[in-house]
Structure formats: C-alpha cells, structure tokens
Amino acid sequence: MVQTRWEHLNGDYSVITKAQALALDAHFVLEQSVRNNAGLFIAFNGTGGIWRKECIIDAGNWQADTLTEDLDLSYRAQLKGWKFVFLKDVTSPAELPSEINSLKAQQYRWTKGYIETAKKMLPEVWKSNLPLKLKLLCTLHLTSNFVFPFILLSGILNVPLVYIKQSGTHDDYFAFMSIFVLAFIGSFLFYLYSQKDIHEKDWKKRIYLFPIFLSGSMGLAFNNAKAVIEGLLNKRTEFVRTPKFSLVDKNDSWKNKKYAKTKVSYAVIFEFLLALYCLFGIGMSLYYLEISAVPFQLMFFVGFGFISIMSIKNLLVSKKEKSK
C-alpha cells in the first residue's frame, strides 16, 4: 500500500478547517513519516492511497466489524508481512469538515473505530512474532485515544483541585506535578515543525492557531470520551460518513446542503454545562489567586463553549434552511 499526504482543499475556509489542517499536517508530515521510516506500523488514512489487490485479499479483505475498516485492514496486512510506503511529498486533495457537527461525527467515528480495532487486533499483535518493541509501539498507537476520558476527567477535577490546594497540605505534590506542564512544549514543537516543513512562507501565521486547536481538542473531549466508552462496551453504531459540501472558497456554503445535521444530541447539553462549569472554575481560581490554573481552565471553557454553541447554532441554521 502506498499512502500519500492529504492536501486540504478548504484548509483556509474557516477557523474550524484551519485548526484541523494544523492537526492533520502534523499527523502526515511527522507521525506518518517517522513511523514509516522507522519500520513501524502505519495506517491507511481511508483515502489518498493505492492498494495491491493481492494485499487486500491476503489480509482477509475489507471487514465491517469496526468503524475504522481502513485501520483494521492496515494492521491485518502488515501482520501478514506486507510493506507500506508513505510519500510525504506526494499530495492528494481532500475536503475537511467545515461544519462543527460534521467534525464531531468524524472524530467520534475515528475515536471509536480505533478502540474497536485495538480490541480486535492487539491480541493478534501480541500473538505474532513481531519484536517486543514493535508490539509495544503498536499498543501505544491503537490505544492513543484512551487519552480523551482523561482529558475530560482533568477538566472536571480542575475545580476541586483548586479547593484542595487551598488546604496547604499538598504543596509538595502540586510542585512535583507541575513538571507535566512541560508536555505542552513537546506538543507545541510537534505542530511547529510540521508547519515549517510544508509552509515555508507563512508557517508563523499558521502556528498561531495552536492555542485554538488545543482548546478545540479539549472541547471535543466529551464527544470522544463517549466514543471510547461505547467502543469498550461493544455498543454498535452505524457508520456515519463525513459530509462533503464541495467548499473551495469562502463564498461557498454548507448551509443549504442536504447532508447538514438537524437533530440535537444530548451531548451538546453536557458540553454547554461543562463550559459553564469551567467558567465557574476560572472565577474561583481568580478569587483564590491561583493564576497558574486559569490558562488551563480558560482553554477548557473556550473549547466546550465553542463546540456547544456552534453545534446548536449550526443545527438551527440547517433546520431553517431545510424548512424553506
């Protein structure tokens, strides 16, 4: 299988597509490149690639028992000994979700599919003759989405932690845990160098979107944590395709397209309540002068607030357009 890098047809359409472009550029430019060059397993990204027919058949063909059939087939093929090649400098045009509910549906499917594939393929990985190092890295790859329940948990626990810190009995613990702030540096560099690699002229302007991307990732924590839990509980859901609205320039619109979602999900209510909860946390942190907690809570507030408000707004717009 040969996988090419996605190039974004509507990467500059809105702040939503710009943030996605930042995330996907890092995935393709660094993650896929490094995995492939290091001889690790990589995933077919669902499009922008070419397969040998013999490889697909030998690996057991396409199977529908996970929501990420591309990832599932990728692992089965590589376990059979087939080689994959990633071409960073060959690009394929692709359209990013430009409407927030479409993005949430895509992220839910990808997240849940990873969990389903992990449950299906990790036993096969560990029964194989792969080196221990490769088995461990395959495990980290397929279980990476377990991070979302912990992101959600950290947002919820941030408020009571401010109260606990006021007791003054855990100062040493909080001082030690502050070292994990350094993780943001590694994350920032990951996205910085991917932008410098493929956007030599305007990478500085693009990397300014990093805080927005980070807030958006936090705002998607409830949506994606739900996908993780449902995947673990074997709850079956249908494959909801990512809508394509043929948006190329800013004059194009998704509002009158038939794929636009019009039903309200209960998840939106929880996301809005979480935004209010984080706003309360910001006020409480300022009251107790816990200034270091404010940026973290602010990103959660912006993330949950933006995701929930835009979800409701876009649903109302879609409903209005379809009623005409």
The pLDDT, as a whole number, for residue 251 is 66
Q: What is the phi/psi pair of residue 58, to 5°?
A: -65, -35
Query: pLDDT value at position 51?
Result: 97
* 226 φ/ψ angles, rounded to the nearest 5 degrees: -60, -40
pLDDT at residue number 37: 95
The residue among 75, 7, 69 whose CA lies nearest residue 42 is: 75
Residue 4 contacts by C-beta under 8 Å, 6 or more apart in sequence? 48, 49, 86, 87, 90, 91, 92
Tens digits of pLDDT across the chain (324 residues): 999 999 999 888 889 999 999 999 999 999 999 999 999 999 999 999 999 999 999 999 999 999 999 999 999 999 999 999 999 999 999 999 988 988 999 999 999 999 999 999 999 999 999 999 999 999 999 999 999 999 999 999 988 988 888 877 788 888 888 888 888 888 999 999 999 999 888 888 889 999 999 999 999 999 999 999 999 999 888 887 877 777 666 666 656 665 555 566 788 999 999 999 999 999 999 998 888 889 989 999 999 999 999 988 877 766 665 555
Q: What pLDDT, on a 0 to 100 scale, did the predictor assign at position 68? A: 95
> What are the residue boundaries of the structural domains of the chain, listed by start?
2-322
pLDDT value of position 320: 61
pTM of this prediction?
A: 0.90
- Which helix (DSSP H) or strand (DSSP E) does residue 250 occupy? none
Surface-to-core class of residue 238, CB atoms within 10 Å of its CB (0-12 exposed, 13-18 middle, 19+ buried): exposed
Asked whether the beta carbons of 122 and 142 are under 8 A apart, the reply is: yes
Model pLDDT, residue 253: 66
Residue 177, pLDDT score: 81
Contacts with 311 (C-beta within 8 Å, 6 or more apart), sequence order: 100, 101, 104, 265, 268, 271
Burial tier of 31 (Cβ tally within 10 Å: 0-12, 13-18, 19+): middle
- The sign one gets for the Cα dihedral 211, 97, 314, 277 is negative
The pLDDT of residue 259: 58
Contact 17, 8 (CB under 8 A): yes
Q: What is the pLDDT of residue 323?
A: 57
Q: What local confidence, expressed as pLDDT, does residue 257 receive?
A: 60
